[in-house]
Chains A and B, each alone.
Chain A
Amino acid sequence: MGTNWRLLDTGSISAAHNMALDQVILNARSSNRVPNTVRFLQFSPHCVLVGYHQSVELEVEENYCREHGIEINRRITGGGNLYWDESQLGWEIYAPKNTPGIPRRLEDMYRLMCESVVAGLDRLGVKASFRPTNDIEVGGRKISGTGGTEMGDIFLYQGTLLTDFDVDTMLNALKLPIKKLEDKQVDSFKQRVICLKEVLGCLPPMKEIKAALAAGISEVLGITLEPGGLTEAEQTALERELIRFRSEDWIRGMRIIPQANDLRVAEYKTRGGLIRVSLRLDRNRQCIKSAFITGDFFAYPARSIMDLEAALKNSSCQPDDILKTVRQFFINHKVNIPGVEADDFCQALYLASGKAGDSSVDL
């Protein structure tokens, strides 16, 4: 790519400011008024963000957020609900879709973008890797989730980086597939994510983290980053867009697609132990929004269950499709769980999704 890109660091600002800036920079780049841009962003106060097509009502514990001063807003990008505390770092990349070296096919593009952040983490001594579809993980545990959008020929790709993370607040602020579970299972859920502080034993200064990520992005994309600020036109546009991004119309969504968020749990006994499945289902669209699987079986490799959860996310909840997803996963990942077969997981998933009798629990 070999060109100079702008490096923006917009510091800690409100959710509405950050969401409005996404739109402003995308507009500015789309009309060729600013160069390709990498932005670092942080939030203050802490906030919950839903994905562009999500419903706040279905994704956010609104009373908890109100009581704890947690802002709520909507991203212009896709994906699920997120909790951002003030210690997290966001990163964003704005460039044309036809930039030489950037794949047009989305899944290849995700990989390249995530690998640029993986290279940055490597400079901090963190051995991270890309996990399809679009996460970055350390030892099977998620450290960065990503998503994107486009305007005309310009894309915005963005991600989180968990630095020092307040998991308990996240669990309270979001509607997740673990409500009403036992403490042991909640602890297991917490093991699905990891932050920089936990990996490194201490948290490097934010300046150092940003420098490492910028270097990784520059290296992988083959670009030179030059620190810069918002243009006057972007500042003016920000003031204008803030009105929209603070409005209930934006936050609640004017045209939210009919969807649902049923939390279902089920247990299924096998020779190798008990499988517990907790699903968030969207019955309107017949898909599994997220899955959480625990039990007293032993899986090899140990990360198989977390990878299976990732494979099930946003997949169809039709029995035939569940069967296909799970069987394929077991083959591709060479999963070995003594006394538990791929079809046992299917049975547990059928129970939770209400496709096999009535023994699941509707919470």
Chain B
Amino acid sequence: MIVQKYAIPEDLFYDTHDFWIKVNGEEAVVGLTDYGQSNTGDILYLELSRGGEEFKQGDRFGSIESGKWVGNLTAPLSGVVLECNHEVASHPRKVNADAYGEGWLYRIKLSNPDELKSLMAAQEYGAWIAEQENSEEEIG
């Protein structure tokens, strides 16, 4: 589905830090959403955690820089990094160009699958984006 020009694939989960999560059994692939990459702007640097690193939901698990802004990548779920996308770390603009494809960030092994309940489905994430966009318009 498309909400306010942003693509939101329906088979993924989402969180309020603008991550998409594709669950496959006990594993998940995560990346930045179309809305997330658009808000961030041209991505210049990505610092990703290495394979084997453990983190809890909400932990910092990398950093991202665009237009002189350094932001944290916040883990959408607890788990262990099975693989980080080295290609995107070297060419971070791939996140801008193909957020749901070549721009994926991590493949992780979930350590607490119950946390999936805290994520949003596509419809809910679309409503959340619309709310964010409306509040921006009010600021003007």
Q: Are A149 and B69 interface neighbours, CB within 8 A?
A: yes
Of the listed stretches B5-13, B19-27, B34-42, B109-117, name the one at the interface; the rest are far from the partner chain.
B34-42
How long is the Cα–Cα vector from A93 to B52 in the complex, in angstroms? 37
Residues of A within 8 A of B132 (CB): 104
Contact B68 A285 (CB under 8 A): no
Q: Which of B47, B72, B136, B139 contacts A53 (CB 8 A)?
A: B47
Contact of A134 among B67, B70, B72 (CB under 8 A): B67
Q: Is A219 an interface residue (CB 8 A)?
A: no
Interface residue? A336 (CB, 8 A): no
**For B91, what are the chain A residues with a Cβ–Cβ distance below 8 Å?**
285-286
From B63, B67, B90, contact of A106 by CB (8 A): B67
Which residues of B lie under 8 Å from residue A101 when comparing CB positions?
Answer: 139
Q: Which of the residues B44, B71, B72 comes within 8 Å of A314, measured between beta carbons?
A: B44
User: Is A316 in the interface zone, CB < 8 Å from B?
Assistant: yes
Cβ contact within 8 Å between A133 and B44: no
Whether B46 lies near A314 (C-beta < 8 A) is: no
* Interface status of A306 (Cβ within 8 A of chain B): no
Contact B45 A257 (CB under 8 A): yes
- Cβ 8 A contact of A257, one of B41, B46, B70: B46
Query: Roughly how many angstroms separate A220 CA and B44 CA in the complex, as a whole number?
Result: 30
Contact A285 B71 (CB under 8 A): no
Chain B neighbourhood of A51, CB < 8 A: 65, 68, 70
CA distance A104 to B39 in the complex (A): 8
Q: Which of A89-112 contact B (CB under 8 A)?
A: 100-108, 110
Structural contact, B90 and A78, CB atoms closer than 8 A: no
Find the A residue at minimum CB distance from B42.
Answer: A314
B70 touches A76 (CB 8 A): yes
Contact assessment for B136 and A108 in the assembled complex, using a CB-CB cutoff below 8 Å: yes
A residues contacting the other copy or chain, number (CB 8 A): 37
- For residue B135, CB closer than 8 A to chain A, the reply is yes
Does B39 contact A53, Cβ atoms closer than 8 Å?
no
Contact B47 A148 (CB under 8 A): no
Asked if A332 is at the interface (CB within 8 A of a chain B CB), the reply is: no
Contact check, A53 vs B45: say whether CB atoms are below 8 A apart.
Answer: yes
> Please, which residues of chain B bring their CB within 8 A of the CB of A133?
41, 67-68
Known: A133-B68, A149-B70. A103 touches B139 (CB 8 A): yes
Q: Mark A140-153, 1 if CB is under 8 A from B, else 0.
A: 00000111111100
Query: Chain B, interface size: which category?
Result: 20 to 34
Specify which chain A residues have a CB less than 8 angstroms from the CB of B44 in the assembled complex. 53, 78, 285, 287, 314
Q: Which residues of B contact A76 (CB under 8 A)?
A: 70
Asked if A53 and B67 sit within 8 Å, CB to CB, the answer is no
Q: Given that A104-B135, A107-B41, A316-B93 are contacting pairs, would A77 and B70 also be in contact in the complex, using a CB cutoff of 8 Å?
A: yes
With both beta carbons as reference points, the residue of chain A lying nearest to B67 in the complex is identified as A133
**0/1 string, B85-123, CB within 8 A of A gives 1:** 000011111000000000000000000000000000000
In residues 23-62 of chain B, which contact A (Cβ within 8 Å)? 39-42, 44-47
Q: Which residues of A contact B45 (CB under 8 A)?
A: 53, 78, 257, 285
Are B70 and A285 in touch, CB under 8 angstroms? no
In the bound complex, do residue A78 and residue B136 qualify as a contact, i.e. CB atoms below 8 Å apart? no
Contact A53-B70, Cβ < 8 Å, known A106-B40, A106-B41, A257-B47: yes
Closest A residue, CB atoms, query B135 = A104
In the complex, besides A52-B63, A52-B65, A148-B70, 14 extra interface pairs with C-beta distance below 8 angstroms are: A51-B70, A53-B45, A53-B70, A78-B67, A100-B139, A101-B139, A104-B39, A108-B139, A133-B41, A150-B70, A150-B72, A258-B90, A285-B45, A285-B91
User: Which chain A residues have a beta carbon within 8 Å of chain B's beta carbons?
Assistant: 51-53, 76-80, 100-108, 110, 133-134, 145-151, 255, 257-258, 284-287, 314-316
B residues near A, CB below 8 A? Answer: 39-42, 44-47, 63, 65-72, 89-93, 132, 135-136, 139
- The 9 tightest CB contacts between A and B, nearest first, are A147-B68, A79-B68, A53-B45, A149-B70, A78-B70, A78-B68, A78-B65, A133-B67, A52-B70
